[in-house]
Amino acid sequence: MNTATATDNHLDKYTTGAMAYIDSFCGLIKCKVTEVREPGDGRSCTNGEIAVVVTKARQAYHLGEKLVLASCLVIPRDKVRLKRGGHFTINTMYEWVCP
């Protein structure tokens, strides 16, 4: 059995309008997905292109700023678990799909 195919069936699907975080060097930045230009998932940065708008300013990211990022850098908010001390974990079992 091909394990890659078996795990693909368990990816949660997200599309335009989803609330997400941008995974950046200065931490997680709140954003909203405005367009899924190319489908992709959270496990690989070689596929997927997601357009977002920043919903909360933080350091170099300004409110209303529009960005296009790889699918692995745009994380649905329910896939992030915050821990004590500012640490967090990311569940990468998600997929961005065109509506």
**The predicted structure's pLDDT at residue 3:** 33
Rounded CA-CA distance 2/16 in Å is 30
Considering only CA atoms, which of 53, 14, 48, 49 is closest in space to residue 32? 53
Work out the number of other CB atoms within 10 angstroms of the CB of residue 2. 7
Between strands 80-82 and 88-90, the pairing is antiparallel
Residues forming a β-bridge with 33: 52
pLDDT, block means (10 residues), the chain with 99 residues: 46 95 92 96 90 95 96 94 82 91
**The predicted structure's pLDDT at residue 6:** 39
**The predicted structure's pLDDT at residue 82:** 82
Between the CA of residue 78 and those of 1, 85, 94, what are the distances in Å? 30, 19, 10
